[in-house]
Amino acid sequence: MHHNFKTENMDAINKKRTLGNSDLEVSSIGLGCMGMSFSYGPPPEKKEMIALIRSAVEKGVTLFDTAEVYGPFTNEELVGEALAPFRDRVAIATKFGFSLDPNGGPQWIGLNSRPEHIRQVCEASLKRLRTDAIDLFYQHRVDPDIPIEDVAGTVKELIKEGKVKHFGLSEAGVQNIRRAHTVQPVTALQSEYSLWWREPEEEIMPVLEELGIGLVPFSPLGRGFLTGKINETTTFATNDFRNTLPRLSPENRKSNQVVVNLLKQFATRKNATPAQIALAWLLAQKPWIVPIPGTTNLNRLEENLGTVNIELTTDELQEIRAAASQITIQGSRYPEQSGKLINR
């Protein structure tokens, strides 16, 4: 099959990265599994997604990201089934921190990081993931009602019990990161970071560097926008949550195309794709960054993994940064009512 972009070469993928000061060493690009069950329109066939996850393992991916709330539950079950034959070769990350609808509805009904709830989620996730230990257990969102020390302390106990190996936070602010880290070292922060959302650079990344915490960027391709495959005329499926994101409204997609044009310009120069330039830029920012682009498509997986063969020079990185800093991205990241989920 002939591609006009760089595809993965196994040596390159096997360039591992370590998350912060921990001993958690993973492939330099992980796989976000959320979209295989949830969020981006009708989910694909389960058996196809199992095959895709197993292809990723064969291609050297060793970090797989899921959460109980994806589905809910179905994504963890999928990941557990797909990875069972390779369990000793991979790291599975999952998350706690929401109360789910007791009637089995698809919607979470609030934040919940009470210690007993964290323990219940851990037990249930272990079963769904078909494993006796979760490699990386993230608090999905900071719960303002529970002191972060209690959250970190509960995960510390789960680590002592051998049920969890590493503690992570997601979208947490500087104070919460510092407070949690004093109780149980934080291995990784998972937050949105990409060429069109660079907010973590301001306050978060210096603290991660200081404390020795890795960064796992989600949506490193701007929920698909930075691939160049989406423009103002694209229509998303009715149940695709991108319909709700102001940054991806048709008029904002039109003005935000300028970022994609920048990526396209470098892609042409480097014989790569816009997505590959976006991921290569991220990897070049820090050695402890491990992005987790999601996909349901084998060609896209190969394209994403091919990024590790692209070297951006210092001059090119400066040129991209300078051009990007001239661009004002239109539209907020999330609709107003879900702003409360982002606890700074």
| Residue (of 244, 307, 227) closest to 13 by Cα position | 307
DSSP labels, 194-219: BTTB-GGGTTHHHHHHHHT-EEEEES
Identify the CA nearest to 216 among candidates 16, 60, 92, 30. 30
User: Which residues form the catalytic set?
Assistant: 70
Separation in Å, CA 66 to CA 14, 73, 76, 256, 315 = 22, 9, 6, 29, 36
What is the length of the chain?
A: 344
Q: What angle do CA 216, 282, 48 make, to 5 degrees?
A: 60
Per DSSP, the three-state class of 252 is: helix
DSSP state of 103: T
Q: Which residue has the tokens 């396209």?
A: 264
DSSP 8-state symbol, 40: B
Q: Can you point out the beta strands (E) in 16-151?
A: 16-18, 25-27, 31-32, 63-65, 91-96, 98-100, 108-111, 134-139
Q: Cα separation of 40 and 223, whole Å?
A: 9
In sequence order, the β-bridge partners of residue 167 are: 137, 186
Burial readout 125-164 (b: 16 or more C-beta within 10 A, e: otherwise): bbebbbbebbbbbbbbbbbeebebebbbbbbbebbeeebb
Calpha distance 125→94 (Å, rounded)? 8
